[in-house]
Each structure stands twice: as structure tokens, then as C-alpha cells.
């Protein structure tokens, strides 16, 4: 039997969800272990035995020097690096606080300041080249499963090229934007979550970031304005997960 | 001399500790939270209240629903909104799902490898596969409840001020009723397993919990009075940590499963209460390591309570009506028992429905001082007695017993 691929999971600053989501694969995690051997995954194991990774999954934002060091280590020692989750691909919510880091630290830790040094939260993709970017807050676990299987079989994983709206239509959910007037970013958000929030009758909050290419953020902006949402509200909504300029 | 404990493994988030040795004795312990700050209070400032619970959910993946519910409670109290029992019960069901998911993760995947001497649950599975599978079965049931109430396994958006986007259906509740009954056997087995462990860590002297079992109007301590956190809990910044430390009347204190059982045993369901009585003498010693046993008893509680709630909702039928919410200027605090202890969301909201002030205190931050005290005691006992590797292993287990959630702990703000 061929050797298993070495898999490393590296967590930078985030909520822990993207690492946790791997464990939520349950039995299918064991299916993946037919192809992969986990040699670094600090949430799940006390072993740390890798110096080379065939595939590295990196979650979270770069928010400290430690994060940056760890990211570089992961990049330098891996063949295929996946920026996993919206923190890693777009910065997600914690990168959306638009203040210089010093002011943020002062607001949180007081006037005397905290000597702990932090960096402005930024996505992984701003520091290193990645081989694949899989957004989502959190990402869809079926998608990462498929991506890892594809890589194990030597197939380049497919990048999706349609908005959440399409998945919403395929599921035949009622359009919450048109029917209920809820702020839904489904028309311009990168699909792949199976429109899970619209399933609850609520609007897409845009957690997978903008779909590149032929979407129409200006149109979405106009629709939301016509529904009565003010500029500031819309802009903040656009910027929350992906620093999205309307 | 400083002995470093490298980054903790099998905990959520990034942290480590230093043991300071002077003249051959343990002088001090510093628990360093090195996860980067995440600035959630700044993130929500100026935001419309409707979007806030979805953002707060992102504080933590393991207990996102506790954050959503605490956020919603804080907002509703600021507006003077009261929701009917149906909505309260569904929220409680969600919190129970979270308790199951989180406790099962902690006990079976993070702690059990220590018990059986493995570096992780995957490697433990070759010999103890049955146990790992049982843990996963409980965890996945908890997660299915989270999907049902929260809308997603992680960072759901279904919990809203005034109600829900979508309400559970009869079939879904029937499934909860059946499965909770079927899984009870596994939870009882977990209690037997974790009851066998010898105690370690410090003994806590102060315990704090919410006044209801999974949420409340106020906090309570072992002294019995109800109070708001602002009255008795103080926070301070540390020079070596991104998390602040809290003290209760100036002393370290403990929040979590063990404090819940000790302070609120009379609210337990029948089997959970019986198991608590059976192990009461042990638990009452207050050793933090008994938090593991307490979590196992809470698995039983959660399954029984989920079953009760499903039955009540099925008997009455679901109305599925949200309470109208109107924004007005106000201040409110949401107190929830996240799986690892008391969680506080405190907001002031302006007349336009936007957040003007926000303070969030998470269980791991509340336990920070107690974690240090516990490490200090354990290090003093073991230094020079055990070899260094064994000491470090035990210290890591001591931290793990708190079930710390480090990512959540690093964004406390006073504005």
C-alpha cells in the first residue's frame, strides 16, 4: 500500500471552529485517515511529529508574531497549503475592526497598555501564497472532505463559481430578500454552504466572502437601499467578513 | 529558573504556562494566554442589535450557541422584551445540545486519552474504539440539536431577539425525544469511568453560577445570595496574557460543571440527581479535577432534560410565533451557563437600536485566576517529587480539567 500523506492542521488566531469542524466529520474523518496521517493538530493530539507536510491546513488570521511564525513554518514545510475558513481567506469578523492596533489594544486593555504585542488581524493569503483557499465561517465540512479526497487522488480540487443564490434556488427556499425584505447577501456571496442560513428563513450574512467575477455588488447595494437599509448599515454588512467594497 | 509548559494541546485555542522556580522552590506560576486578541466588543460597537448575536456567535465555535443566547438575552433585557415559555424551552434545548456536544468532545476526545495513556483519541481508538464511538455518538446528537435550534453546527444564525428564524418540527422533536432516551446508557457509563479517577489540582473555595440551571437573571455563589457581576467580580489586565483575570471578592473562584452541580443540585433531573448524590462527598471536596466527573453527570442531565423538553413541546404543540421587538434605549445583561461555565454579555443600546457599550466575560477568563492557583498548588506538590516530564504532563491535565476555551477568553473590554 502506498504511504499515507502527511497532514498538518495549524491554528492561528480564530474561534477554533475551523479546526473543530474537522472533528465534526466524525466517521468520515476516519475515512480520510485511510489516505492521511495527521502529524500536527494541536486541538486533537499531543503528538507533534511533522517536519514535512504533504498537505497543510491553516485556519485563523495572523494576529500575533507567533501566528506569523507558525504560518511561515507551515508554508515552508508543506507541498500543498490550504487557507481554510474565512479568517484565513478574508480575515473574517476580527479583521473588520477598523482601528490601528495600538488603539484597539488600548480600548481593550486600558490606558497603561498591555505590553503584549499584537498585529492587525489579516488573512493568511496576505502573507503567503496558498494552493487552495476554502472560505466559510465556518467552511462546509463536506467541501473540505472532498478537497482532501481529491488531493489524495491526485486531482486538483474544483473551485466553485456560483453564488449562494443558486444553491438557495436548487433547495427551493423562499427568497427572503424579495419576500421578507431581509438583508440577504446570497446574490453576491461565494456559494458552497448549501444556503444553510436561508434554510432558517434568514438572510445570508455573507460569511463566505464575495464571489469573484460576474456578480453585481452595486445592484445588491441598490436593492438593500430600496428596502430601507441605510448606507452605513449596508457598508458594514458588506465589510464584515471580507472587507468587501460595495 | 523557569520551567516552560509548551503550548497546551487538546485544549481549544493557544495558551501556555511558566513555572517560576527560586531557591529550589516553586515561587509562582504564570498562565499565558497567547492567542491573539479578537476585539469583539469593538466589533459590535455601533452595530444594529439584530446583527449582533450572529457576530457574537463567532467568539467561539465550541459554544457559539451560548454566545448567541447570552447576546439575545442581553438585548431583550435592554428592550424589556419577555418571551413566552415555548421560546425559552427551545433555547434551553439548544443550550443542552451544546452541553452535550462540548462535554462529549472534552471528556472523550481530550481527557480520555490521558486516562488511558494515549496522545489522542484517534490512537486510542485502536484499543478503545467502542468508547470513542460512544463519545462521538453523544457529540453528534448534541450537534444535531444545535443544528435544530441554532441553524448550523457551528455559528448558526437561527437564534434571534424575540424568537427564531425557524422553529423545530414535530418530527424533529420526536427524534430528540427518542434519541435522548437511547443515549442515556452511554452517559451513565461515562459517569462510571470518570468517577474512578483520583483528584488533582487545587480545591476551589468559591463557586459561581447563574441562578437558573442553564441561564439566569443573576449570579449566585456558595454564599447563596444573588448578585450582578458588577457587584462582586473584578477584572484586571495582566502583563503576560491577552486574557484578563477576574476575582470574586478578591479571590480566585471556579465556574463550570462542578460549581453548577454543587450550587444547583436541586434543579437536576432524577437520574442525574441520584448520580450526584452517589458522588456528592467526592464532588463537595471541590477539587477542580472533579469537573470531569461533574461533566459526565451533566451528560446524563442533558439527555434527561432534552427528553423532558421535547415531550412538553410535543404535548403542547409548537406555536412558532416570535415576539415583536422594538428597539429603545436600554441596558441589559445576559447570563448563560456555557458548557465550561458562566458567560456574561452586557450591552447598552441606544435609541436607534445600535450597541453603545458592550462587555463580554467568558468562563475561561473567569477561571483564569483559579487555573493559576491550581497550577501553583500542583507544581508545589510535584516539584522535586516527580520527574519533570511527569510533572508537566500532570499540570497540563490540570489545565485541561477546566476545559479551557482559550480563543474565547481574549477579548475582554471595559470602555
pLDDT of residue A74: 95
B188-202, pLDDT tens digit by residue?
999 999 999 889 888
Nearest residue of chain B to residue A45 (CA atoms): B120
Cis previous bond, A242, omega within 30:
no
Q: Which residue has the cell 428563513?
A: A201
A49-66, pLDDT tens digit by residue?
768 999 999 999 999 998
Beta bridge partners of B212: none
Residues 55-94 of A with CB under 8 A from B: 61, 63-64, 66-67, 92-94
A111 in reach of chain B (CB within 8 A): no
Exposure string for B172-200, b = 16+ CB within 10 A, e = fewer = bbebbbebbeebbebbbebbebbbebeeb
Residues of A in contact with B164 (CB under 8 A): 200
pLDDT of residue A114: 57
Residues 13-32 of A with CB under 8 A from B: 13-18, 20-21, 23-24, 26-27, 30
pLDDT of A29 over the 50 cut: yes
B297-346, pLDDT tens digit by residue?
999 999 999 999 999 999 999 999 999 999 999 999 999 999 999 999 99
Could you report how far apart the first and last alpha carbons of chain B are, in Å?
38
pLDDT of residue B394: 87
CA distance B194 to chain A (A): 20
Q: Do B55 and A93 touch (CB under 8 A)?
A: yes
Nearest residue of chain A to residue B39 (CA atoms): A94
Residues of A in contact with B59 (CB under 8 A): 15
pLDDT of A36 over the 60 cut: yes
Beta bridge partners of B216: B335
> What is the number of helices (H) and of strands (E) in chain A?
11, 5
pLDDT of residue A238: 92
Would you give the DSSP letter of residue A41? E
Residues of B in contact with A13 (CB under 8 A): 14, 35-36, 38, 407
Report the residue from B13, B47, B54 with minimal CB separation from A16.
B13
pTM (two decimals): 0.94
At residue B133, the 3 state secondary structure works out as helix
Residues of A in contact with B162 (CB under 8 A): none
CA distance A138 to chain B (A): 7
B26 grid coordinates: 516553586
Distance CA B66, CA B58 (A): 11
Contact call for residues B138 and B82 (beta carbons, < 8 A): no
Residues of A in contact with B364 (CB under 8 A): none
Low-confidence ranges of chain B (pLDDT < 50): 411-415
CA distance A108 to chain B (A): 4
A189-233, pLDDT tens digit by residue?
999 999 999 999 999 999 999 988 877 889 999 999 999 999 999
- Candidates B61, B161, B244, B340, partner chain A, best to mutate (most A CBs within 10 A): B61
Residue A115: band (very low, low, confident or very high) from pLDDT cuts 50, 70, 90:
low
**Of B134, B176, B67, the residue nearest B296 (C-alpha):** B134
* Helix pair B121-150, B291-316: axis angle to 10 deg: 30
The larger pLDDT score, comparing residue B241 to residue A178, is at A178
Beta bridge partners of B251: B248
Distance CA A60, CA A68 (A): 11
- What is the pairing mode between strands A5-11 and A36-41? parallel
Complex ipTM tops 0.90: yes
pLDDT of residue A103: 83
- What is the pairing mode between strands A5-11 and B355-361? unpaired
Q: Do B61 and A16 touch (CB under 8 A)?
A: yes
Tell me the backbone φ, ψ of residue B11, rounded to 5 degrees.
-135, 165
**Of A242, A206, A108, the residue nearest B36 (C-alpha):** A108
Rg (CA), chain B: 21
With vertex at residue A140, the alpha carbon angle to CA A208 and CA B187, rounded to the nearest 5 degrees, is 135
Report the residue from A14, A200, A237 with minimal CB separation from B157.
A200
Contact call for residues B381 and B398 (beta carbons, < 8 A): no
- What is the pairing mode between strands B163-164 and B330-338? unpaired
pLDDT of residue A212: 83
pLDDT of residue B409: 58
pLDDT of residue A1: 54
pLDDT of A116 over the 80 cut: no
pLDDT of residue B185: 96
Q: Do A21 and B415 touch (CB under 8 A)?
A: no
Query: Long-range contacts: A150-156, Cβ < 8 Å, 24+?
Result: A151/A5, A151/A55, A151/A80, A152/A5, A152/A35, A152/A36
Amino acid at each position: 500500500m502506498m504511504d499515507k500523506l502527511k497532514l498538518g492542521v495549524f491554528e492561528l488566531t480564530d474561534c477554533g471552529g475551523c479546526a473543530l469542524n474537522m472533528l465534526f466529520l466524525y466517521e468520515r474523518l476516519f475515512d480520510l485517515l485511510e489516505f492521511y496521517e495527521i502529524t500536527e493538530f494541536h486541538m486533537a493530539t499531543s503528538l507533534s511529529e511533522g517536519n514535512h507536510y504533504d498537505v497543510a491546513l491553516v485556519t485563523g488570521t495572523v494576529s500575533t508574531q507567533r501566528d506569523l511564525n507558525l504560518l511561515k513554518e507551515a508554508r515552508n514545510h508543506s507541498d500543498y497549503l490550504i487557507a481554510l475558513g474565512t479568517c484565513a481567506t478574508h480575515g473574517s469578523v476580527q479583521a473588520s475592526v477598523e482601528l490601528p492596533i495600538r488603539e484597539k489594544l488600548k480600548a481593550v486593555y486600558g490606558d497603561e497598555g498591555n505590553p503584549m504585542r499584537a498585529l492587525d488581524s489579516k488573512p493568511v493569503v496576505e502573507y503567503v501564497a496558498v494552493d487552495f483557499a476554502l472560505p466559510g465561517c465556518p467552511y462546509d465540512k463536506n467541501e473540505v472532505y472532498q478537497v482532501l479526497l481529491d488531493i489524495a487522488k491526485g486531482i486538483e480540487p474544483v473551485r466553485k463559481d456560483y453564488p449562494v443564490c443558486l444553491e438557495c434556488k436548487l433547495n427551493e427556499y423562499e427568497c427572503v430578500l424579495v419576500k421578507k425584505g431581509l438583508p440577504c447577501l446570497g446574490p453576491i456571496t461565494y456559494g458552497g454552504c448549501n444556503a444553510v442560513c436561508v434554510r432558517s428563513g434568514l438572510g445570508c450574512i455573507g460569511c463566505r466572502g464575495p464571489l469573484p467575477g460576474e456578480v453585481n455588488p452595486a445592484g445588491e447595494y441598490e436593492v438593500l437601499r430600496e428596502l430601507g437599509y441605510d448606507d452605513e448599515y449596508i457598508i458594514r454588512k458588506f465589510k464584515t467578513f471580507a472587507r468587501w467594497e460595495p | 529558573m523557569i520551567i516552560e509548559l509548551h503550548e497546551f494541546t487538546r485544549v481549544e485555542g493557544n495558551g501556555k504556562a511558566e513555572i517560576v522556580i527560586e531557591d529550589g522552590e516553586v515561587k509562582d506560576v504564570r498562565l499565558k494566554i497567547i492567542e491573539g486578541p479578537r476585539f469583539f466588543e469593538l466589533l459590535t460597537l455601533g452595530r444594529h442589535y439584530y446583527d449582533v448575536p450572529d457576530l457574537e456567535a463567532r467568539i467561539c465555535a465550541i459554544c457559539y450557541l451560548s454566545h448567541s443566547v447570552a447576546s439575545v438575552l442581553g438585548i431583550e433585557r435592554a428592550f424589556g422584551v419577555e418571551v413566552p415559555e415555548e421560546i425559552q424551552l427551545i433555547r434551553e434545548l439548544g443550550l443542552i445540545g451544546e452541553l452535550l456536544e462540548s462535554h462529549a468532545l472534552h471528556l472523550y476526545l481530550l481527557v480520555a486519552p490521558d486516562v488511558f495513556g494515549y496522545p489522542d483519541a484517534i490512537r486510542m481508538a485502536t484499543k478503545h474504539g467502542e468508547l470513542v464511538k460512544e463519545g462521538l455518538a453523544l457529540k453528534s446528537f448534541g450537534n444535531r440539536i444545535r443544528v435544530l435550534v441554532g441553524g448550523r453546527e457551528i455559528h448558526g444564525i437561527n437564534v434571534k431577539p424575540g424568537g427564531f428564524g425557524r422553529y423545530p418540527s414535530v418530527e424533529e422533536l420526536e427524534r430528540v425525544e427518542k434519541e435522548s432516551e437511547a443515549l442515556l446508557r452511554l452517559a451513565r457509563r461515562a459517569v462510571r469511568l470518570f468517577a474512578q479517577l483520583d483528584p488533582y489540582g487545587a480545591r476551589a473555595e468559591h463557586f459561581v453560577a447563574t441562578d437558573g440551571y442553564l441561564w439566569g437573571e443573576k449570579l449566585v455563589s456558595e454564599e447563596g445570595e444573588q448578585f450582578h457581576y458588577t457587584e462582586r467580580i473584578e477584572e484586571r489586565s495582566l502583563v503576560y496574557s491577552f486574557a484578563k483575570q477576574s476575582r470574586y471578592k478578591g479571590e480566585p473562584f471556579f465556574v463550570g460543571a462542578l460549581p453548577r452541580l454543587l450550587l444547583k443540585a436541586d434543579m437536576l433531573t432524577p437520574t442525574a440527581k441520584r448520580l450526584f448524590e452517589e458522588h456528592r462527598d467526592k464532588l463537595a471536596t471541590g477539587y477542580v479535577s472533579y469537573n470531569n466527573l461533574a461533566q459526565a453527570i451533566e451528560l446524563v442531565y442533558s439527555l434527561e432534560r432534552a427528553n423532558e423538553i421535547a415531550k412538553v413541546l410535543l404535548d403542547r404543540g409548537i406555536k412558532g410565533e416570535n415576539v415583536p421587538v422594538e428597539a429603545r434605549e436600554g441596558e441589559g445583561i445576559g447570563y448563560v451557563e456555557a458548557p465550561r461555565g458562566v458567560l456574561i454579555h452586557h450591552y447598552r443600546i441606544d435609541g436607534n437600536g445600535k450597541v453603545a457599550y458592550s462587555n463580554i466575560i467568558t468562563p475561561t477568563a473567569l477561571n483564569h485566576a483559579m487555573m493559576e492557583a491550581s497550577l501553583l498548588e500542583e507544581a508545589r506538590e510535584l516539584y522535586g517529587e516527580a520527574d519533570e516530564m511527569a510533572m508537566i504532563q500532570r499540570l497540563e491535565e490540570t489545565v485541561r480539567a477546566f476545559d479551557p476555551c482559550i480563543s474565547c477568553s481574549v477579548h475582554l473590554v471595559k470602555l
